[in-house]
């Protein structure tokens, strides 16, 4: 290879991009990718942070409260003392007009620095209500995560089912094509080993088989696209699954009673309802505490300055435009809307009652959901075991029928029946395994195991 050829080869290597390697994922990896990629989980996690902010806001009312107001305005200008003609002695007070000496700028500052001492439970109860909201928001995250886990499993197992079904049908199609070739050869040789009806029987089976292959291929592509969407790898990426074939997952260990008890203890919805009850009780108590005042301590003061007014150095005379004052205080303050607070208490009480009724429904409804998932699981578990045996027998029947047909002992319609029954039984087995695997996923969700 000359120097020019080497340079050309290097240029091709540098310029032509390498083909992206396919990404292969297990079910566990796909679930983790789905939990990481779903923006709605991130949305609900952000709502948890928002609920934490409400708690910090409620607890922040224990700290100092600063109320300050500063402004620039106008004041009457005054020069001289309190007495007539500006003298600092005498007995006749001044009686000037409203604006004796024109106008003066006026700078005013009023401020209060207050520290609540006792609020009759307002801060404590609002903080407890905020904590309950945090737990509710966390429960929303868990609910969404459980939904994503089920969706990823449905796409993953659905893809395996469609792929294995397509492979099954293509394998049967190859055997059917072999039988068709033999029938056509016999008919051309006119040896009497095959009849025209044999050809028609196999062609009929071939037409139906082609339809099911096309449907399985389409479903395989759809479920893979769904898995790409859920895992967030991108619709244009090359995604593969690690499992070579569909297989039933292990049967969950436990009785129906055990699962019901676990659901009531671990379901995020139950935790949310308990948190909602706590939050609403605290809110009712907080609204009731609004009927009472706040006890506080602090410092209040003000400062006023008008540059065009003479300062009066007299403790008995107060000039609102020229003064400085500050004092520590301890006080009691009400901020009560007499007709509004009772209505707010009634609203909070009604919301508490609503959650109480919802809790009663959940305590009855969740065990039913568990029972429904459990009984479906048991039925499909037994069905897939029995279908596995039937599928094995069907395959033996198909192989035996093909052998007899090749030996000239069986007509083609018997072969078509054997192929069709094996295809139906094996396809039903794959579908039932998929149903069983999803039954396990649904049971996990019903008992709060999908976290």
Higher pLDDT, 3 or 233: 233
Give the model confidence (pLDDT) of 113-126 as tens digits.
999 999 898 899 88
Give the model confidence (pLDDT) of 274-303 as tens digits.
888 888 888 888 888 888 899 999 999 999
pLDDT value at residue 310? 81
Question: What is the band of 328 on the pLDDT scale with cuts at 50, 70, 90?
Answer: very high
Kindly give, in sequence order, each residue whose CB lies less than 8 Å from that of residue 295, ignoring residues fewer than 6 positions away. 116, 117, 118, 119, 330, 331, 332
pLDDT value at residue 61? 86
Q: Which two tokens stand for residue 8?
A: 């050309």
pLDDT value at residue 300? 95
Contact (CB, 8 A) for 107 and 72: yes
CA 167 remoteness from chain centre: 36
pLDDT value at residue 13? 39
pLDDT value at residue 154? 94
The 10 Å Cβ neighbour count of residue 229 is: 15
> Across the chain, what does the average pLDDT equal?
85
Question: What is the band of 187 on the pLDDT scale with cuts at 50, 70, 90?
Answer: confident
Number of H helices, E strands in the chain: 9, 6
Give the model confidence (pLDDT) of 315-324 as tens digits.
777 888 999 9
Contact (CB, 8 A) for 402 and 451: no
pLDDT value at residue 346? 84
Flag the least confident range among 66-75, 396-405, 439-448.
396-405
E-strand spans in 369-435? Answer: none
The arrangement of secondary structure in 22-61+120-293+337-446, i.e. its CATH architecture, is Up-down Bundle (1.20)
Q: What is the pTM of this model?
A: 0.77
Instruction: Check residue 17 and report its DSSP letter.
Output: P
pLDDT value at residue 43? 87
Question: What is the band of 304 on the pLDDT scale with cuts at 50, 70, 90?
Answer: very high
Distance CA 102, CA 82 (A): 17
pLDDT value at residue 98? 59
pLDDT value at residue 6? 45
Higher pLDDT, 187 or 386: 386
Flag the least confident range among 62-66, 137-141, 192-196.
192-196
Distance CA 92, CA 182 (A): 138
Query: Tokens 């403790």 correspond to what residue?
Result: 315
Question: Closest Cα partner for 16 from 24, 26, 8?
Answer: 8
Give the model confidence (pLDDT) of 202-229 as tens digits.
888 888 888 889 999 999 999 999 999 9
Question: Residues 134, 135, 140, 145: what is their CA dihedral angle, to the nearest 10 degrees?
Answer: 110
Q: Which two tokens stand for residue 374?
A: 């459990």
| Average pLDDT estimate for 82-89 | 58
Question: Closest Cα partner for 299 from 319, 278, 274, 329?
Answer: 329
pLDDT value at residue 279? 87
- Region class of 171: left (phi > 0), else alpha (psi between -120 and 50), else beta: alpha
Give the model confidence (pLDDT) of 415-450 as tens digits.
888 888 888 999 999 999 999 999 999 999 999 886
Flag the least confident range among 4-13, 134-143, 382-391.
4-13
Q: Which two tokens stand for residue 2?
A: 């000359």
Question: What is the band of 88 on the pLDDT scale with cuts at 50, 70, 90?
Answer: low
pLDDT value at residue 191? 66
Helices 122-189 and 268-289: angle between axes, nearest 10 degrees: 160
Strand bridging mode 294-306 / 239-241 = unpaired
pLDDT for 190 beyond 90: no
Question: What is the band of 381 on the pLDDT scale with cuts at 50, 70, 90?
Answer: very high
pLDDT above 90 covers a percentage of the chain that reads 35
Flag the least confident range among 77-86, 178-187, 360-369.
77-86
| Average pLDDT estimate for 263-278 | 87
Give the model confidence (pLDDT) of 237-251 as tens digits.
889 999 999 999 999
pLDDT for 15 beyond 50: no
Which helix or strand (DSSP H or E) is residue 199 part of? helix 196-231
Question: What is the band of 89 on the pLDDT scale with cuts at 50, 70, 90?
Answer: low
Q: Where are the domains of the chain?
A: 22-61+120-293+337-446, 64-118+294-333
């Amino acid at each position: 290879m000359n120097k020019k050829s080497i340079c050309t080869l290097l240029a091709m290597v540098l310029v032509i991009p390498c083909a992206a390697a396919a990404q292969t994922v297990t079910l566990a990896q796909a679930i983790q990718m789905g939990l990481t990629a779903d923006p709605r989980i991130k949305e609900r996690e952000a709502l948890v942070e928002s609920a934490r902010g409400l708690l910090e806001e409620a607890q922040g009312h224990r700290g100092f409260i600063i109320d300050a107001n500063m402004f620039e305005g106008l004041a009457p200008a005054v020069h001289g003392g309190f007495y007539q003609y500006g003298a600092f002695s005498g007995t006749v007070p001044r009686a000037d007009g409203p604006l004796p000496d024109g106008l003066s700028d006026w700078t005013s500052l009023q401020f209060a620095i207050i520290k609540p001492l006792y609020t009759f439970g307002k801060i404590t109860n609002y903080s407890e209500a905020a904590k309950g909201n945090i737990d509710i928001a966390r429960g929303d995250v868990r609910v969404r995560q459980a939904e994503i886990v089920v969706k990823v499993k449905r796409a993953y197992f659905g893809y395996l089912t469609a792929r294995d079904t397509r492979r099954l049908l293509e394998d049967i199609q190859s055997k059917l094509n072999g039988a068709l070739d033999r029938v056509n050869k016999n008919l051309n040789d006119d040896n009497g080993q095959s009849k025209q009806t044999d050809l028609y029987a196999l062609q009929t089976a071939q037409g139906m088989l082609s339809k099911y292959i096309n449907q399985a291929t389409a479903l395989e592509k759809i479920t893979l696209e769904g898995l790409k969407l859920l895992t967030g790898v991108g619709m244009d990426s090359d995604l593969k699954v690690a499992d070579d074939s569909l297989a039933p997952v292990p049967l969950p260990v436990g009785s129906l009673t055990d699962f019901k008890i676990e659901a009531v203890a671990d379901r995020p919805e139950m935790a949310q309802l308990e948190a909602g009850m706590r939050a609403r009780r605290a809110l009712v108590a907080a609204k009731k505490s609004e009927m009472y005042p706040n006890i506080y301590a602090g410092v209040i003061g003000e400062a006023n300055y008008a540059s065009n007014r003479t300062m009066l150095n007299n403790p008995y005379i107060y000039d609102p435009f020229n003064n400085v004052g500050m004092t520590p205080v301890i006080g009691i303050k009400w901020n009560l809307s007499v007709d509004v607070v009772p209505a707010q208490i009634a609203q909070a009480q009604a919301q508490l009652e609503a959650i109480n009724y919802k809790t009663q429904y959940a305590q009855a409804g969740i065990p039913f959901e568990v029972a429904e998932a459990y009984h479906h699981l048991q039925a499909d578990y037994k069905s897939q075991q029995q279908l596995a045996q039937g599928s094995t027998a069907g395959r033996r029947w198909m192989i035996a029928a093909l052998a007899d047909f090749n030996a000239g002992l069986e007509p083609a319609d018997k072969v078509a029946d054997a192929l069709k029954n094996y295809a139906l039984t094996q396809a039903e087995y794959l579908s039932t395994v998929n149903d069983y695997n999803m039954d396990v996923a649904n049971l996990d969700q019903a008992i709060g195991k999908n976290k």
